[in-house]
Amino acid sequence: MMLKTLDKILLSDNVVKEFYNNYNNLEFKNYLLKVLPEIEDCKNLKQDNPWHIYNCLDHILHSVENINQQTRGLDFKTRRMLAYTMFLHDVGKPDCYIRRFSKLYNKEIDSFFNHNLASEKIAARVLPEFNFNKNEQQLIKLLVREHDIFINIKLTKTQDKHQQLLSNKLLNSYIKQYNKIGDGQQIMDYLIMIGRADNLAQNPEKTKEPLYMLDVMQDMLNNQNNLTLAKK
């Protein structure tokens, strides 16, 4: 019963409002915290970082709302998987929290290095409780782990050795890697939607360039799909 309530919340058009309306219900809150106690830690994590305007939980909920807007035309199974992917993508942040001085911003900020791996570990624990089958669990864990791959992909070359230039070669390398798990092009398409939902739940003063890069990547992926269809 409570899982159906959570499904309804996470697939709604007003995820933030629906979540908090139900979180005030003791039965629902107890159910969710028994399965995913990290929710309270996320709620209390301010995210004092120039890229963020919400605490961790609110960022998560806004990102779920944003992915739902992108998946309206998809089947229920896919929409549910992507909604739960966003619900879990940052739940590992409290475990990875550090306060550090940033030379870039010339001040102390909150950082969450490797939070994708911590979130994947939590996802592996809770996904069976959310009634996902083995294949769905494998895909969601991959999407959670890979949700941040776009951070170091740029449209123009930089001096930073950690950053990669967006190209068809780079896109194909990711697709080839993801083909080991399923349809690499489809997985890449999901990741672009996830990256967009994630950025839209962050500081809009910071996300204009990443969102544009994701649009360019989507166009490149669409062209790849068109070429594949033409060959058939």
Q: How far apart, in whole angstroms, are the C-alpha atoms of residue 82 and residue 65? A: 11
Half-sphere CA count of 206, side-chain side, radius 13 A: 13
Residues 68-97: what's their mean pLDDT?
Answer: 98
What pLDDT score does 224 carry? 76
What pLDDT band is residue 162 in, cutting at 50, 70 and 90?
confident
Least confident among 16-25, 102-111, 157-166: 157-166
Place of tokens 């809150």: 29
Given a cut of 50, is residue 229 above it in pLDDT?
A: no
CB-CB neighbours of 27 under 10 Å: 11
How many residues can be counted in the chain?
232
Q: How far apart, in whole angstroms, are the C-alpha atoms of residue 164 and residue 92? A: 25
- Cβ-count burial of 141 within 10 angstroms (0-12 exposed, 13-18 middle, 19+ buried)? buried
What pLDDT score does 160 carry? 78
Q: Identify the DSSP state of 154.
A: E
What pLDDT band is residue 1 in, cutting at 50, 70 and 90?
confident
Place of tokens 């306060």: 99
Residues 26-37: what's their mean pLDDT?
Answer: 98
**Helices assigned H by DSSP within the chain:** 2-10, 15-23, 26-35, 38-43, 56-70, 76-88, 93-96, 115-126, 134-146, 168-178, 184-200, 208-231
Q: What percent of the chain has pLDDT over 70?
A: 97
Least confident among 21-25, 162-166, 202-206: 162-166
Number of domains in the chain: 1
Residue 189 amino acid letter: D
Pairing of strands 107-111, 98-102: antiparallel
H or E stretch covering 99: strand 98-102
What pLDDT score does 168 carry? 94
Residues 11-39: what's their mean pLDDT?
Answer: 97
Work out the mean pLDDT of the chain and round it to a whole number: 95
What pLDDT score does 196 carry? 98
Identify the domain containing residue 169 by its residue range: 2-231
Contact between 122 and 90 under an 8 Å Cβ cutoff? The reply is no
CATH of the domain at 127: 1.10.3210
